[in-house]
């Protein structure tokens, strides 16, 4: 962090390092389960014992973020303007707001100062509500939407419910998680931040959560170039795609026997997204909606020949299979860039939500 062109401090895993005239000072920070900064201290004499005069700053909070006053005014040295949920406190104009990234927050009223940009998706909640009015159990890392990305009690990212990556974090036991589970089921298993094992788990969750916006699937849709880049640099980790954003208009409900029936369908030739997904197994959910089984981005070729009863149909299907396999080989050459690129790894694409098909 720089001020007027001069370095003031930078972060380290357990706190910050402050720049002083004669060098650098390590400041360690104690945070609670909500990532509220409660205590800052420094072992100035390096005797591994923290005494009262080595406490730099103390902060305590009401549930919605107002700072207690009258008994925790300790401040020795620089005032570190980060506190509630680990966010920067804005002192300009005496407003005492907190900068969460997407929006500013006022702890005096427990509300955001601008509406949720995705508020139309959560009509039962005020667009200004914070932490779903439950700041003891829930966190709101950057002021976006409601819930969706799901973590276990160790802070490890598990995946999503049927609403994708954008939203507040849900914490649950890993054995209760199922990729693409309904939002209602996810909320019923939500342990809140109190379910996290320790501060390290909270740190891990926050680090992953803050990086979600940089993922190619953050908006629920991926392009061919993004898929190829993830194949080269994603380390084999899965991506998550909103099925409602995949072009499936060429599929008809008449292709399914009944609600609940499944059918593998080749998307390559008829969907604008077909070059990404290829052959996908869909389940008909009724009302011209389908769900989809996970797909693997692996450039696998299909060698099974058509078994259709009609000779003409067999010829057409086998021709499509040949074209598809040729396109797959070409796609792999483009994605690999080099046959000696050992970093390339196939990955799973998890679909959430429902896709739209025709009558």
**Whole-number pLDDT of residue 322:** 53
The H or E element that residue 16 is part of is strand 15-20
- pTM recorded for the entire structure: 0.57
Give the pLDDT score at 278: 82
Q: What's the gap between Cα 158 and its chain centre?
A: 10
Average pLDDT per block of 10 residues along the chain, 359 residues long: 82 83 85 82 87 87 86 75 85 85 87 77 72 71 66 94 82 93 88 83 84 87 89 90 92 92 87 86 94 82 57 61 49 52 80 90
Task: Return d(Cα 117, Cα 121) in angstroms, integer.
Answer: 9
- In this prediction, residue 242 carries a pLDDT of 92
What pLDDT score does 325 carry? 47
Alpha-carbon span 313 to 230, nearest angstrom: 37
Strands 168-171 and 147-151: parallel
How far, in Å, CA of 314 to CA of 310, rounded? Answer: 6
* Closest C-alpha among 153, 144, 147 to residue 171: 153
CA distances from 133 to 117, 130, 152 (A): 18, 6, 22
Q: Are 254 and 241 in contact (CB under 8 A)?
A: no
Q: How far is CA 284 from CA 164, 261, 269, in A?
A: 20, 6, 21
Q: How far apart are CA 105 and CA 244, in angstroms?
A: 32
Neighbour-count burial of 307, counting CB atoms closer than 10 A to its CB (0-12 exposed, 13-18 middle, 19+ buried): exposed
Domains annotated for the chain, with CATH where assigned, are: 2-102 (no CATH), 111-214 (no CATH), 224-356 (3.30.450)
């Amino acid at each position: 962090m720089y001020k007027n062109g001069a370095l003031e401090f930078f972060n380290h895993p357990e706190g910050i390092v402050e720049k002083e005239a004669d060098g650098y000072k390590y400041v360690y920070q104690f945070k609670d389960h909500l990532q509220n900064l409660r205590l800052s201290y420094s072992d100035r004499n390096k005797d591994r014992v923290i005494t009262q005069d080595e406490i730099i700053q103390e902060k305590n909070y009401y549930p919605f973020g107002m700072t207690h006053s009258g008994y925790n005014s300790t401040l020795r040295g620089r005032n570190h303007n980060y506190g509630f949920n680990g966010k920067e406190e804005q002192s300009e104009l005496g407003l005492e707001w907190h900068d969460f990234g997407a929006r500013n927050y006022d702890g005096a009223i427990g509300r955001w100062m601008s509406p949720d940009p995705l508020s139309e998706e959560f009509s039962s909640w005020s667009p200004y509500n914070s932490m779903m009015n439950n700041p003891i159990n829930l966190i709101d890392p950057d002021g976006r939407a409601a819930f969706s990305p799901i973590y276990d009690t160790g802070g490890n990212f598990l995946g999503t419910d049927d609403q994708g990556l954008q939203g507040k974090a849900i914490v649950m036991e890993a054995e209760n998680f199922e990729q693409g589970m309904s939002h209602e089921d996810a909320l019923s298993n939500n342990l809140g931040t109190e379910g996290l094992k320790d501060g390290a788990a909270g740190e891990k969750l926050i680090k992953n959560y803050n990086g979600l916006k940089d993922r190619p699937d953050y908006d629920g849709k991926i392009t061919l170039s993004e898929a190829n880049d993830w194949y080269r640099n994603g380390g084999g980790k899965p991506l998550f795609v909103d099925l409602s954003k995949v072009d499936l208009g060429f599929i008809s409900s008449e292709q399914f026997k009944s609600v609940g029936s499944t059918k593998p369908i080749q998307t390559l030739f008829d969907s604008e997204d077909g070059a990404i997904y290829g052959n996908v197994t869909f389940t008909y959910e009724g009302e011209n909606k389908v769900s989809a089984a996970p797909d693997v981005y692996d450039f696998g070729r299909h060698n099974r020949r058509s078994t259709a009863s009609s000779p003409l149909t067999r010829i057409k299907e086998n021709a499509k299979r040949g074209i598809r396999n040729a396109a797959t080989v070409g796609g792999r050459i483009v994605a690999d860039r080099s046959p000696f690129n050992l970093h390339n790894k196939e990955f799973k694409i998890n679909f959430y939500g429902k896709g739209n098909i025709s009558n």
